[in-house]
Amino acid sequence: TMDVAAEDSDQMPSGFHAKAAAKAARLRREAAKLASAAALESPGGIESRPGEWAPTQSKLLRRVAVAARPGHFELSLQYGPYSVAYDTTGRLLALCGRGGHVAAFEWRQKRLMFESQVNEPCHALTWVGAGSTPQLAVAHSNWTYIYDAQGLELHCLKRLHKANKLFWLPRHWLLAACTDTGHLHWQDVSTGQTVASYCGHHGPLRVSALHPDSGCVLTGQPNGQLCIWTPLEKRPVVKILCCPAGVRAVATAPAGHAVYTLGGDSRLRVWDIRCLRPLSVSDNGADAASIRLFDAAPQLAVSQRGLLACPVRQGAALMVLPAGGAKPLLSHPSPGRLSDLAFCPWEDVLAFGHARGLGSVLVPGSGEPNPDGAVHPLSGKRQRREAEVRGLLDKLPPETIAPPAVGGGVNAVDAEGIEEALARKRAAVMALPSDEVRQFQPRRRSGKASGELNRKVGERWQRRRMELRQLLKSKKRVLAEMGDEGADAAGGRKTKKAKKISQSGELTKPATGTFLDRLIPKAD
């Protein structure tokens, strides 16, 4: 580096510029070295020979590296069944139970952040924000609350009433919720405003998922339909008849356009959300439209690399399937009935909540090994803070939420439509009221009891005011006709009293006495 700087020193204006150029060259070489090292890192996976059983966790723990072993643990808790959620960086893990138990911790160091008992059932949770101050949104039995990293209650979202699913949209900074009353809500976390809130008229929305690429909410209906919702439309923009029976579970791939549905006939189907067509899957070496999962529970989870996790044996065991395959790569028994599944971003870890606590297993090849974003498990506090500020500045408007099937999504922004909407809003704010608005007069409401009563009371008071006004005018007229005699007669008592005081030259007792009258001297 010093030799290169010395050779180029003649072409530099000064020594300061030569040092800056040498430093920039050194940083470029280090960045290229890190990029080459990251590109060489493979995602890993599980390779099984024909006729072999899926490996157990005890065999994996003996063969994986020491740094990956903290991903396997088991917590026995008494307030289940539990729901679990990872943050976008993959460092933090939160859980909530139906018994009111809420906790969050760093799963690698096993460092507890907070733990509290809210004394009411908790049905869903999600991490809000990706900065240095993460927040946790928890759906209680009635309302939705937001807690900070210390477990202190920050907000109470009463509009999100009886929510059973919560979704975080990091590109739009929106908190989406599906409720038992059939309503869908989109809340802007940065401003606190409600973007959209309406009833879907499809009954309780207990089966739902989020498509991370487009930001749409997918719901499964008992009649076998898969509905896609956006905040700008109060009706489903897309309806797919994906199951002959009711839809029991829905899951979306974090990277891609695949949507997984589990029907009431225990068959797993894969759909392409772009063309709204089913994808063929491999069932015992042959292509088929669906895979039959016997005794499958209504829970699905998809990893970053496309691995699918689902409970089997009525929720007593866990099975991991490859992308588009029916042969399981991994199976693990559960101490209790499974209630929730969540893959850890950027790590080969799968967390599951059950009736007796929380568990975590190793799933090689599930996480993306090469983070390409600003927020990843190795990012520091300063990087996360800068990523939060950058996310707020680059926040997308809700108009960009649309399924790819109708030409929407984050990658297909309707710039002209957004400009027209902003122009209409600007014109509405700066416009002056028209002549019709200025000359507007409210019509008289007739036929209503309240309006008739108000009219009668107003007329009664108006007549009373007119009577008082006429009485006052007649009194003034009589006094004017009486002249000075009337004035002397009216004020004779006061004149006589004044003369009496002036003749005696002494103070007399006032007409209205007080306790200070005893201080006045008595006359002789």
Residues in the chain: 524
pLDDT at 441: 61
Mean pLDDT of 363-388: 80
Taking the C-alpha atoms of residue 162 and residue 146, their distance in angstroms, rounded to an integer, is: 15
pLDDT digits (tens, 9 = 90+) for 277-325: 888 766 555 556 678 877 777 889 999 888 999 888 777 788 888 866 6
pLDDT at 492: 46
pLDDT digits (tens, 9 = 90+) for 43-61: 777 776 666 677 888 888 8
Does 443 score more than 70 pLDDT?
no
419 or 87: which leads in pLDDT: 87
pLDDT at 489: 47
Taking the C-alpha atoms of residue 341 and residue 83, their distance in angstroms, rounded to an integer, is: 8
Report residue 138's pLDDT band, with 50, 70 and 90 as the boundaries.
very high
Is the dihedral angle over the CA atoms 406, 412, 416, 421 positive or is it negative?
Answer: positive
DSSP class per residue in 475-513: HHHHHHHHHHHHHHHHTHHHHHHHHHHHHH-S----SS-
379 or 119: which leads in pLDDT: 119
Q: Which two tokens stand for residue 158?
A: 């009463």
CA angle, 87 as apex, 86 and 92 as ends, to 5°?
A: 70
500 or 479: which leads in pLDDT: 479
Does 448 score more than 60 pLDDT?
no
473 or 42: which leads in pLDDT: 473
Report residue 452's pLDDT band, with 50, 70 and 90 as the boundaries.
low
Does 487 score more than 80 pLDDT?
no
3-state DSSP percent of the chain in helix, strand and coil, to 5: 25, 30, 45
* Range with top average pLDDT, 68-82, 381-395, 434-448: 68-82
pLDDT at 507: 47
423 or 269: which leads in pLDDT: 269
Report residue 7's pLDDT band, with 50, 70 and 90 as the boundaries.
very low
Helix (H) or strand (E) holding 269: strand 267-272
Contact call for residues 270 and 324 (beta carbons, < 8 A) = yes
DSSP class per residue in 158-186: TTSTTEEEEEEETTTTEEEEEETTSEEEE
**Lowest model confidence (mean pLDDT) among 30-39, 113-122, 135-144:** 30-39
pLDDT at 493: 45
pLDDT at 498: 42
**Lowest model confidence (mean pLDDT) among 70-79, 122-131, 436-445:** 436-445
Taking the C-alpha atoms of residue 153 and residue 155, their distance in angstroms, rounded to an integer, is: 6
b/e map of 288-317 (b: 16 or more CB within 10 Å)? eebbebeebbbbbbbbbbbbbbbbbbebbe
Report residue 495's pLDDT band, with 50, 70 and 90 as the boundaries.
very low
* Tokens 């160091």 -> residue: 109
Q: What is the dihedral of CA 13, 16, 18, 20, to 10 degrees?
A: -130
pLDDT at 524: 54
Does 389 score more than 60 pLDDT?
yes
Mean pLDDT of 195-223: 92
pLDDT digits (tens, 9 = 90+) for 239-283: 999 888 889 999 998 877 889 999 988 888 888 888 888 887 665
* Tokens 């759906």 -> residue: 139
**Lowest model confidence (mean pLDDT) among 5-19, 247-261, 507-521:** 507-521
Fold of 79-204: Methylamine Dehydrogenase; Chain H (2.130.10)
pLDDT at 296: 74
pTM for this entry: 0.69
pLDDT at 298: 85
515 or 190: which leads in pLDDT: 190
Mean pLDDT of 62-89: 91
